[in-house]
Amino acid sequence: MDSQHLPQTSDEWSNLIPENVKGKTIHDADLASASKFAMDQFLLLRVLWKQYEDPRRIHDVLDMKGWVERASAMLNRYQSWSTYCDSFESERNIPEGTFAIARHYQLEVAKTENKVDPLAFYTPIARRTRNSYAQRGRNDLHLVTPIKVKVNFPDLSIRPKRMEANFDDIEDDEDEEDSKNDGDDPLTPFKPTSPMPQELANILYPPTKDEQIVNTALVVFLNALTIYFPLSMHWTLHRKSFTAAFENAEFQARTDGYLGDSQGNPSVLIEVKPVRRSRKLQVIQMQESAQMVAWIKCDDEKAQKAHKMRLHISQDRHEVFVTVAKYDKKYLEYLNNPRPSSDEDEDGDENKENLSFLTMHQFGPWNTLDRSHIRELGPILLAITLKADADSKAGWLDR
């Protein structure tokens, strides 16, 4: 398995489990004492990541062809959508209409700074263990990544004293050139983004100067797609937090926004980064795994069982990804029971064949500077919103 990629199969997951973690679950009290707490915690979450080079394969996993066709028809009747798509003919053209602000911030994302303020990357993920609370006056322990991530995945060992940490402290201070608009000829059909050497990508796509610009670009675009349609759910910048509590440990994850109803119940999560995903793939995927698990764990039993496919919309610099999370009742048993029966064989020992996982299906990237990608992405995002809205009205997300 590529050292930059998280496990895709149960065998790859098993090969990564260190000896001191074998046989343990996320509920175990000594979780916080692992030598590399971040990676060990991720492995105990039992999450697999599957990446798809052609983002159009999302239709196979989501099974939303009818919804996408409906969304395409709705957008085709939307004059502002046509005006927006036509604006890609000019590198810096801002269209009139609903998508003007969305296009403005998409172009702002492409602007770069030679030096990046590390404080702009702050999205806290806190981790605490209940035993440590009792021993240390219930002081918080916060999980954080070192401010500079060079080569190896950071050692996040838990220490006795308070420790600040953050998955998003990713600083790049190399002197790099401004990026260029990658907009295709307007007649060019959709083509998946071609891979390129990482060194070249680092030069062409240095970090944008502020994560908030990326967050604004994504949420404004999502709202522009949906604002004129009669929906009960809306995309928001509200940073919602989830606390996943287990028998002897808990952690907190915070999102960059979500699609929610009037009560603030989320149906799709948002996460953004000012750098391309390929530069910090492992760190970003681990954070999104924690967010997804925390969201599931915060739901009641009815919502957990009814909502076994969940979505993450991410924008990493100028590229958008859609991640579809899937799980089954055996995985819910693992999250909710300290010693799930499905993990054990007849003798009570761990049975590797019976282990269940949360599988994250990652699709993308869609380039927000490329007209053909936008024409493909817009109907998908609107379809996701329409489907979530219909599910909410049907009572799927009743709390």
Name every residue whose Cβ is closer than 8 Å to that of residue 158 and which is 6 or more positions away in sequence: 32, 33, 34, 37, 127, 129, 132, 141
C-alpha 224/C-alpha 262 separation (Å) is 19
- Cα(23)–Cα(383) distance, rounded to whole angstroms? 42
Residue 319 lies in a domain: yes
Whole-angstrom distance, CA of residue 66 vs CA of residue 386: 11
Is position 74 within any domain?
yes
- Cα distances (Å, whole numbers) of residue 199 to 174, 196, 205: 12, 8, 10
C-alpha of 171 from chain center: 19
Q: Is residue 5 included in any domain, yes or no?
A: no
Query: Whole domain around residue 271: which residue ranges?
Result: 10-119+194-343+356-398
CA 192, 198, 199: angle at the middle one, nearest 5?
Answer: 135
CB within 8 Å of 124: residues ≥ 6 apart: 142, 144, 166, 252, 254
* Residue 143 resides in a domain: no
d(CA 242, CA 113): 33
Query: Side chain identity at 179, as an amino acid letter?
Result: S
Cα 127 from Cα 177, distance rounded (Å): 38
pLDDT of 317: 93
Confirm whether 125 is domain-assigned: no
Residue 389 has a pLDDT of 94
Number of domain units in the chain: 1
75 within 8 A of 225, measured Cβ to Cβ:
yes
Distance (Å, whole) CA 33 – CA 269: 30
- What does the pLDDT profile of the chain (399 residues) look like in tens digits? 556 789 999 999 999 988 877 888 888 744 432 223 478 888 999 999 999 988 888 988 988 889 999 999 999 999 999 999 999 987 777 889 999 999 999 999 988 653 444 334 434 444 444 444 444 443 333 333 333 333 343 333 333 333 233 444 444 433 333 444 444 444 556 566 655 555 554 545 454 568 999 999 999 999 999 999 999 999 999 999 998 888 888 888 899 999 999 899 999 999 999 999 998 899 899 999 999 999 999 998 888 888 889 999 999 999 999 999 999 999 999 999 887 665 555 444 556 677 999 999 999 999 999 999 999 999 999 999 999 999 888 875 454
**Residue 2, domain member (yes or no):** no
Within-domain flag for 139? no
DSSP for 185-242? PTTPPP-PPPP--HHHHHHHSPPBS-HHHHHHHHHHHHHHHHTTS--S-EEE----EE
* pLDDT for 388: 94
Which uninterrupted H or E stretch holds 243?
A: strand 241-245
Asked if 298 contacts 252 with a C-beta cutoff of 8 angstroms, the reply is no
* Model pLDDT, residue 41: 82
Helix 79-86 to helix 65-76 angle, to the nearest 10 degrees?
90
In a domain, 373, yes or no: yes
Q: Which residue has the tokens 């007649």?
A: 187
pLDDT of residue 51: 95
What pLDDT does residue 121 have? 40
Listed in sequence order, the residues at least 6 apart from 77 whose beta carbon sits closer than 8 Å to its beta carbon are none
